[in-house]
Amino acid sequence: MAQQLDGTPWDLARIRAHIAAGLPLVGLFGLELVTATPTGSSVRIPHHPNVLRPGGTVAGPVMFAAADVATYAIVLAASQDPAAATVELGLKFLRPAGDLPLLARAEVLRLGRRLCSVAVRIAPEAAPERLVAHASTTWALSG
């Protein structure tokens, strides 16, 4: 298990607390970090008044935030680097996202010394095969 500089492990509880304290959008959208490991993570987009756009579908910025948070959780679990930052995040919308909750499932494509590349698939939690969006993200590691 990855360790913080002070020796505290970067387990799911620690990563949740760090993200909740440092990323206000998590609370604004009600995002829930479900899993976080060095190879993958998942973030739930729940039924929440701040996630819907006119027409009743999930707003694009909410899915963008979920993909970014899912990637950050992987970075924290894999490299314990709280200073890492997003370099690139591309998001493709595949169909309207109206079946909540959604789950953003992230998987490491490559973790190097300087960069972490991740693919994120966003789909209804009850129907993971019905993708609503796909993201490709790259984060720069500070170490």
pLDDT for residue 9 is more than 90: no
Q: Is residue 5 part of a domain?
A: no
Would you say residue 7 lies in a domain? no
Q: What's the total number of domains in the chain?
A: 1
Q: Residue 89, SS3?
A: strand
Considering the domain boundaries, does residue 56 fall inside one?
Answer: yes
Which residue range(s) make up the domain with 123? 12-140
What number is the average pLDDT over the span 49-71? 96
Can you give the CATH number for the domain in which 57 is found? 3.10.129.10
Note whether 70 and 104 are within 8 A (CB): yes
Q: Is residue 102 part of a domain?
A: yes
d(CA 91, CA 81): 24
Measured CA to CA, the distance from residue 12 to residue 89 in angstroms comes to 23
pTM of the model: 0.94
Instruction: Collect all residues with Cβ–Cβ distance below 8 Å to 72 and sequence separation of at least 6.
Output: 19, 23, 84, 139
Q: What is the pLDDT of residue 7?
A: 66
For residue 3, being part of any structural domain is answered with: no
